[in-house]
A and B are shown apart, each in its own frame.
Chain A
Amino acid sequence: DGGITQSPKYLFRKEGQNVTLSCEQNLNHDAMYWYRQDPGQGLRLIYYSQIVNDFQKGDIAEGYSVSREKKESFPLTVTSAQKNPTAFYLCASSPTGANYGYTFGSGTRLTVV
């Protein structure tokens, strides 16, 4: 079955460490997105990519980095520069062009300990 897979489901990070969240899709979608969700809040866009080897900052990119070396993969690194990284991180993908919704992964809950 086609889908989008995020791993790990839970991640614990010590202060000062970088961590990388994985996102893989086999839907042949061109566009991929990373969102952050805090408790009781909506979705805030961190980074997005509409094609391989290209990506753009979203609304809250500071302290995060991404790469898009393969169409299927869009990993997100939470760096030590992100001052409040504890959150639920969601990856999504979509076809580009006309009107399409996003397909979401099941999320990664990151906690700083």
Chain B
Amino acid sequence: GESVGLHLPTLSVQEGDNSIINCAYSNSASDYFIWYKQESGKGPQFIIDIRSNMDKRQGQRVTVLLNKTVKHLSLQIAATQPGDSAVYFCAETYAGNNRKLIWGLGTSLAVNP
């Protein structure tokens, strides 16, 4: 399944399916992007990052894609598991704002067993 970020929508997927979470970032000067996972009642955890000189980066079961032309970032989770249920945030930063992260509103991922 897919969703569009920045509005905290809910994406519901079946266990074992692939998930795609989308994020439309705001600043064309942004050159570093991060995905975080936040489980209920906990602080966000770093998942994966990507620099603007790349368009794809892979981790363990996760892939981040960056399309600078349309200012779009996506997080793909392969073989989604119940433990992946959480809110996912994208964040961007650029040199002109003291490297403070600019946060998207998040997407809630619900994995159905």
Q: Which residues of A contact B (CB under 8 A)?
A: 6, 31, 33, 40-43, 45, 48, 50, 88, 90, 92, 94, 96-107, 109
Contacts and interface: CB of A to CB of B under 8 A. Distances in A.
Contacts, number: 53
Contacts of A41: 8, 105
Binding site of B, secondary structure by majority: helix, strand, loop or mixed? loop
Contacts of A103: 46
Given A41-B105, A96-B99, A104 B8 contact: no
Interface of B: 8, 31-32, 34, 36, 41-46, 49, 51, 89, 91, 93, 98-101, 103-106
B45 A42 contact: no
19 contacts: A6-B43, A42-B89, A42-B104, A42-B105, A45-B100, A90-B44, A92-B43, A94-B99, A96-B99, A99-B49, A99-B51, A99-B99, A101-B34, A101-B46, A102-B46, A104-B45, A105-B43, A107-B41, A107-B42
Contact of A43 (B32, B41, B98, B103): B103
A80 B8 CA distance: 30
B46 A42 contact: no
Contact of A102 (B42, B98, B101, B104): B101
